[in-house]
Structure 1
Amino acid sequence: MLYNLPDDDLHYASLLDVASLIKAGDLSPVTVTQMMLERIAAIDPALNSYLSVTGESALAEAETAKAEIASGRYRGPLHGVPIAIKDLFHTKGVASTFGSLAYKDFVSDKDATIGHRLKMAGAIILGRLHLHEGAFGEHHPALGRCINPWNKDYWPGGSSSGSGAATAAGLCFGSLGTDTGGSIRFPSAANGVTGLKPTWGRASRYGVFPLADSLDTIGPMTRNAADAAAMFSAFAGADPMDPTSLAAPVPDYLAALDGVLGARDMRIGVDTAYLETGVDDETIAAIRGVVEMFKALGATIVEVKVPARVDATFAQMVITDTESVYFHKKVYEADKSLFGPQLAAAMERGLHYDSMTLAKAYITRDRFKGEIARMFEGMDALISPVYPMVGALYDKMDEHLADLQSFLGFTSPFNVAGSPSVTMPCGMAAVGMPIGVQLIGPHLSEAGLLKAAHAYQQATDWHLRRPPIS
C-alpha cells in the first residue's frame, strides 16, 4: 500500500512498498536510485545528513539489481532498494570517518559483516551518514551539524543523527544506526521515525568502529516497524567473525508480522512514576495515549516497578568513557587536536577513572541486568519515554549534556541491561516536533516488540507524518 502518495512523493513511500513495486517490475532499481541521488543533491545541503554520497557505486549496484531481478534472481525485500549507513561501518575501498578528523583517511580492505549481509540481500547503499564524533556527544566542529528536518533549531538526536534525519526527510528508505546509550532511540524520537535497538549481541559488530564494545548495538532506522523488520531480518544473527554475537536462532521478523491484528496476546508493563517523573506534560500525555491505544488493541496492561536507574546510568557513562579511550588511546595521545571537545573530554575521563569506580560500574551492570530480567518475567514489553522533554533545542544542548543522568535516564540503563527496544512516533508537540515512545522488552524479544509496534502503527498514523520540507 502506497498510502495514496502522489508520484512526486515516492521518496516517502515505505521500504516495503518500494520493494513491491520493484519486484513487480513497476519500478526500476536504477530509476529509484537516480531519483534518490537527485533528491539528496537538492535537499541535503540544508540538512548535512550525509557525510559522503557514493552515487557511482550506488548506480552500479542498481544496474546489477535490475539485471538480477529481470533474470528471476530476486533476493528479497531489500533487493534494489536504496538505503544508507552510518559512517562508522567499514566498507571495502571506501573511506569511513567515524565522524572525526582522526579517522578521515581510514579505508578498510573489507566490509563490515552487516554491510556485507545487506549487500547480499541486494540493498543499494546510497552513502554514509553523519554522526556524532566517535558516536559520542556531538558532531565534530569541522564536519558541521546535522540538521533536524522538522525544525533546524532542534537537535536531530545522536549519535545516529544522519540516519534519523535522512530517513525522515525521504533521503533513503531505511538506514543503519548504532546505540550505546540512546543513539538509535534519540534520533528516532527526534525525527519521527521507527528505530530498533536490538538485544546486545544480536547483530554482529565485526568491522564497526566501536564506542564501547560491551554496550554497542546495531539496528535499523526506518519509517515504520514492518520496514525495520525487513531490514533486521537481512542482517541479524551470529557471525563467526564476532565471537560476542549471539548464537540463538533468528526468526523471520517480517513474516512474524503477517496477520497481526491488535495486541491481544501481549502483556505490557506500565510504571506510572517512571513514566512521569521529570518528564514534560506533552510527552506524558502522548505516552498515556499509547497506553490507551494498546488497551483498545486488546493488550493486558500490568503495573510494574522499574528498578532504580541512577546507578545504572552512571555505570553506562563510566563504561562508555573507559572502553572508548581503550579504542582511541593511541590515536588520541598521538594528536589530541584531531578530536572535538566532547570526545576529548570523554578520553580524559576514561584515562583517569580509578579501579574502584570501574569495578563498581561493571558490578552495577551485572546487578541491574538481573533486576531487569526479573522485572520482565510474565511481561512482554515496558512502555517508556525516550527522553524527558519534547525535543531538545540545539542552543540548550550544553545544558542537557551537563545533566546526563537525567537526559540518559530512559535509554542508557537499557544498554547496561542489554535490552532490546523499538522507538516509534506517538504524537506531535505544539511546537511541531514529533514525540517518541519506547517499547522495551526482555532479551531476544525483537519479534514481539516489532509486532506490537506494527499493531500500533496499523491503528494510528503518527508514523505517516512528514517534516515540512519539499
Structure 2
Amino acid sequence: MTSTPIDTAFLSIGELADGYRSGAFTPLDVCRRAQERLALLEPKLNAFIDPMTNDVIEQAERATRELADGVDRGPLHGVPVAIKDIIDVAGTETTYATRAVQPKLATVDAECIRRLRDAGAIIFGKTNLLEFAAGVAHPDFGQTNNPHDMHLTAGGSSGGSAAAVAAGIVPLALGTDTGGSVRAPASYCGIAGFKPGFGTLPLDGVYPLSPSLDHLGILARSSKDAAVAFAVIGVRKPNNSPAISPEQLRLGIVSNQWNHPAIRPDVRRALDATLGVLEHAGMHIVNVDLPTPELMAKSLLDILMPEAALIHRQTLASNPGGYARGTHELLLAGFTLPAIDYVDARHNQNSWREQLSSLFKTTDAILAPTVPFVAPGTDPALSTEGDDEIISLTHANLTGAPSISIRCGLEKTMPVGLQITGALGSEERLLAIANYLEELLQMASP
C-alpha cells in the first residue's frame, strides 16, 4: 500500500524544513511540484519572466544531496525563492521588464542573492514587474494577474513576486519597495509583504529607482516566514522577541489614513472587523496623527521623480521609444520638477522621520489600511494627480521605518491588507507583533 504524496504547494518555510529533515519529501520534490504549478498557471498569471527551469532542478538536486549527507545550511536550505527581475542573478539575464535597454547578463549575484545561496536557498526564476519598478507595465511584458481573480491585477511593482507566492508556486520571493511596491501587491494578493528599515537589507546588484527611498522587500505567506527570510538576508539572529501580551500592546491608529474618504466600503468592513478583534483581545488602541496623506504622497513623488530621471537620463536620450508611454511620461516629469520642491520634500522627509519616531514613545506600532481598495483591474500608475493607492504607504518609505502588510480580511473572495509600521530599528519586534496579529485575525475569521 502506497501513501498519498504530500502536496507541498502551500506549505510554510517551517513545514518545508521539517519535511526535508524528516524525509517526508525533498527539495527536488518541492521544486518539481512548484514547476508543475507554474506550468498550470502560466501564462495567464504572467508572474514569471524567466522561470530558470533547468537551473532550478540542478539547485534542487544539490540541496537534496547536501541534506541527505547531513549538510544543513539552516531554515532556508532547499527552499525555493522567486526574484524580482530587477535584481541580478549570476548567469541569468536581468530584463527590468523594459525595451529601453537590452537585457543584461549578470556576471555576479546581487548581495541579497549571495546570502540566499549561502543559506542553501534555491533561486527559482525571475518575476515580472512594472517597468524598471517605475509605475506601469510595459506592453511587451504585460500585467501580472491576481491568483484570486485572474481578471484583476496582482499589483506593482513587485506583482510577479507577490503572485508567485500567493499562487502556491513558491513560499518566498524578493521585491523592491520605493513607494509601497512590496506592500500594495501583498495586500492585493493576500500575503505578507515586509519592507524593513531603510538600508537594513543590501541593495548591491539591485537596479535603483530612487536611492533616497529604495528598499529591498520580502514577500511571504506569513509574517513568520518573512521573519525567517529577514534573519538570513539581514544577517540577523532568529527572532527571539518576547511573547506578545495583548494587554501590554499599545497600537496607534493613523486616523487620517484609517478614515480617509478614499477607503472603499468593502475595505471599511474589514478594517472595522479587525479593530473589533483587537479591542476584544484587550489591546490599548489610540488615535495618532501624521501629516495629511496627500502632502506625504506629494513629497515622496517630489523626491522619486527627479532621482529616477537622473538615473534614466542617458537611456531617455538614446532610446525614448523603448519605454512604455506611462513610464516615459513619469521619468520626463522628473526633469521639470522645480528644485525647490525637491529640497522641500527632503526637508519634510527629515522632519517627518523625527515626528514618526516620537509616536513610538507611547506606541509599539501604528496601523493603517495598506491600500484603500481591493485589487483593481489594472495597477494604478504613480501620479501627482491624487494617487489614492499610496495614501497609507508613503510614510514608511519617506521615514525609512519598517512596515509590513498582512491580510486582515477577505471581501467577496478578494483580500484586504492591514499595514503595521514600527519604529526605526524595530524589525524583529514589528515582525513579532505582525505574527501575533496575523494569528489572532486568523482565529477570529469565520
TM-score (structure 2 length as normaliser): 0.94
Contact 1:118 1:234 survives alignment (8 Å)? yes
Show the 5 A alignment for 1:311-350.
311-350=295-334
1:67 is displaced (CA, Å) by 1.6
1:104 is displaced (CA, Å) by 3.9
Contact 1:426 1:462 survives alignment (8 Å)? no
Letter matched to residue 350 of structure 2: D
Letter matched to residue 204 of structure 2: Y
TM-score (structure 1 length as normaliser): 0.89
1:34 counterpart residue number: 32
Partner SS for 2:401: coil
2:249 counterpart residue number: 266
2:17 counterpart residue number: 19
1:118 is displaced (CA, Å) by 0.6
Contact 2:156 2:185 survives alignment (8 Å)? yes
Show the 5 A alignment for 1:97-246.
97-236=95-234
Letter matched to residue 327 of structure 1: I
1:252 counterpart residue number: 238
CA distances 1:134-181 after superposition (whole Å, capped 9, x unpaired): 102111111112111111232211000001111100111110111000
> How far apart, CA to CA, are the structure 2 residues paired with 1:402 and 1:415?
17
Aligned counterpart in structure 1 of residue 81 of structure 2, from 55, 80, 83: 83
Change (3 A) 1:22 1:187: same
CA distances 1:346-402 after superposition (whole Å, capped 9, x unpaired): 2211122222122112112112222211222221111101112232232x847x857
> How far apart, CA to CA, are the structure 1 residues paired with 2:359 and 2:316?
41
> How far apart, CA to CA, are the structure 1 residues paired with 2:107 and 2:209?
21
1:303 is displaced (CA, Å) by 2.8
Partner SS for 1:134: helix
Instruction: Select between 76-85 and 144-153 the one with higher mean Cα deviation.
Output: 144-153
2:422 counterpart residue number: 441
Partner SS for 2:140: helix
Instruction: Select between 212-221 and 98-107 the one with higher mean Cα deviation.
Output: 98-107
1:41 is displaced (CA, Å) by 1.4
Partner SS for 2:161: helix
Letter matched to residue 10 of structure 1: T
Contact 2:306 2:335 survives alignment (8 Å)? yes
1:281 counterpart residue number: 265
1:460 is displaced (CA, Å) by 3.3
Partner SS for 2:357: helix
Matched, 1:309 2:290: no
Letter matched to residue 336 of structure 1: P
Alignment coverage as a number of residue pairs: 442
Letter matched to residue 47 of structure 2: S
Partner SS for 1:219: strand
Letter matched to residue 252 of structure 2: G
Change (3 A) 1:262 1:45: farther
1:94 counterpart residue number: 92
1:64 counterpart residue number: 62
CA distances 1:221-266 after superposition (whole Å, capped 9, x unpaired): 11111111111111015xxxxxxxxxxxx4423x448xx4653432
Letter matched to residue 200 of structure 2: R
Q: Alignment identity in percent?
A: 29
Letter matched to residue 22 of structure 2: A
> How far apart, CA to CA, are the structure 1 residues paired with 2:158 and 2:93?
18
> How far apart, CA to CA, are the structure 1 residues paired with 2:110 and 2:129?
17
Aligned counterpart in structure 2 of residue 411 of structure 1, from 393, 402, 405: 393
> How far apart, CA to CA, are the structure 2 residues paired with 1:385 and 1:93?
40
> How far apart, CA to CA, are the structure 2 residues paired with 1:289 and 1:459?
12
> How far apart, CA to CA, are the structure 1 residues paired with 2:444 and 2:414?
13
> How far apart, CA to CA, are the structure 2 residues paired with 1:361 and 1:272?
23
> How far apart, CA to CA, are the structure 2 residues paired with 1:382 and 1:87?
31
Matched, 1:422 2:404: yes
> How far apart, CA to CA, are the structure 1 residues paired with 2:114 and 2:138?
28
> How far apart, CA to CA, are the structure 1 residues paired with 2:380 and 2:404?
24
> How far apart, CA to CA, are the structure 2 residues paired with 1:205 and 1:397?
26
1:393 counterpart residue number: 377
Letter matched to residue 359 of structure 1: V
Instruction: Select between 306-315 and 318-327 the one with higher mean Cα deviation.
Output: 306-315
Partner SS for 1:202: coil
1:295 counterpart residue number: 279
Change (3 A) 1:152 1:220: same
CA distances 1:169-200 after superposition (whole Å, capped 9, x unpaired): 01111101110001011100000001111111
> How far apart, CA to CA, are the structure 1 residues paired with 2:376 and 2:405?
17
1:82 is displaced (CA, Å) by 1.2
Change (3 A) 1:158 1:463: farther
Partner SS for 1:152: strand
Partner SS for 2:314: helix
> How far apart, CA to CA, are the structure 2 residues paired with 1:135 and 1:39?
26
> How far apart, CA to CA, are the structure 2 residues paired with 1:273 and 1:413?
12
Letter matched to residue 418 of structure 1: G
> How far apart, CA to CA, are the structure 2 residues paired with 1:35 and 1:27?
11
Partner SS for 2:145: coil
RMSD: 2.1
Change (3 A) 1:92 1:195: same
Matched, 1:356 2:356: no
Partner SS for 2:104: coil
CA distances 1:61-114 after superposition (whole Å, capped 9, x unpaired): 112111211221111111011121111111112101111122442112211000
Letter matched to residue 332 of structure 2: E
> How far apart, CA to CA, are the structure 1 residues paired with 2:76 and 2:444?
20
1:60 is displaced (CA, Å) by 1.2
Partner SS for 1:102: coil
Change (3 A) 1:419 1:456: same
1:132 is displaced (CA, Å) by 0.3
Aligned counterpart in structure 2 of residue 367 of structure 1, from 343, 351, 372: 351
